[in-house]
Amino acid sequence: MLLAVGVAALLWLYAGDFLAGLLLHRVALLDARWETIILQSRAPGWQPFWAGVTQLGGPDFLPWLLALMAAACFATWRFFDGFLLVAGTAILAVLVQLIKVTTARARPPAAEMLSPAFPSGHVSLSVVIYGLLALYLLATLRHRGLRLALVTVLAVLVAAISWSRLTLGVHWPSDVLGAWLLSGLWLVLLWGVWRTYHSRHPHYGLTGARQTWSRVALGLLGVVGLAVMGYVLSF
């Protein structure tokens, strides 16, 4: 009986390994096909633009944006929101690096980078950071049209960052799709934690000196944010 169970387990493992190999081979073929189509159809004149867009999802800009968002949360006495933003992003960043090291997937031939490709770090962190920014704006802004406009801009920006990683030839399509899946699930989890907390601890509007200080701080943070964006895009 034990021998039969052992043989069945070995066959199951071999079958799983064989099917996984077939799936990965199929994904690699599709990646190569779509990467070729994307690179052949790109317009050289647009490459500097996409290089600028990709900076908005990279390590030269996102840490600054994260710090400004956390500071804005603290300035409006939303301390849990700031903690959730920083902790959630940091955990995702570590998770992405662990997956990269584990998979050790090579970059496309056009890429000059040597770091592992899967999943895309730019896309993963952009989805979560800009996604949390969109959620916070939906929760705090009163004007429906302004909320819709800002969330639409953020969604388009994340989509543009995702496309920039492909048209610049630094990621396979499945790297971007995997990043969307991973960070999308993580964003839903963070959103659930955020909703649960605020359903039990509702945030009341600021009044008096706190409201004045909060508005001044947010104005200063907005100026700093524009300065940082201009600095990053100038390179």
Helix ranges (H only) for the chain are: 2-41, 47-55, 62-75, 79-103, 121-140, 144-167, 173-200, 208-233
Residues 33 and 74 in one domain: no
Residues 13 and 70 in one domain: no
Residues 21 and 53 in one domain: no
Q: Write the pLDDT tens digit of every residue in 22-79.
A: 445 466 667 777 677 776 777 777 788 888 889 888 888 888 888 888 887 777 767 8
Round to whole Å and give the CA distance between 52 and 71.
Answer: 25
Residues 102 and 24 in one domain: no
pLDDT of residue 201: 67
Residues 63 and 170 in one domain: yes
Residues 4 and 57 in one domain: no
DSSP SS3 for 168: coil
pLDDT of residue 20: 39
Note whether 136 and 92 are within 8 A (CB).
no
> What CATH number has the domain bearing residue 54?
1.20.144
Residues 8 and 65 in one domain: no
Mean predicted lDDT score pLDDT of the chain: 76
Residues 113 and 193 in one domain: yes
Q: What is the pTM of this model?
A: 0.77
The stretch 165-173 carries a mean pLDDT of 85
Handedness of CA 114, 117, 123, 127 (dihedral sign): negative
Question: Which residue range(s) make up the domain with 62?
Answer: 49-233
Residues 123 and 139 in one domain: yes
pLDDT of residue 151: 86
Q: Write the pLDDT tens digit of every residue in 80-110.
A: 888 888 899 999 999 999 988 888 887 887 7
State how many domains the chain has. 2
Lowest mean pLDDT among 44-53, 106-115, 127-136, 207-216: 207-216
Amino acid present at 232? V
The stretch 10-28 carries a mean pLDDT of 45
Residues 113 and 10 in one domain: no
Q: What are φ and ψ of residue 202, in 5° steps?
A: -60, 145
Residues 142 and 196 in one domain: yes
Residues 31 and 53 in one domain: no
Note whether 103 and 118 are within 8 A (CB).
yes
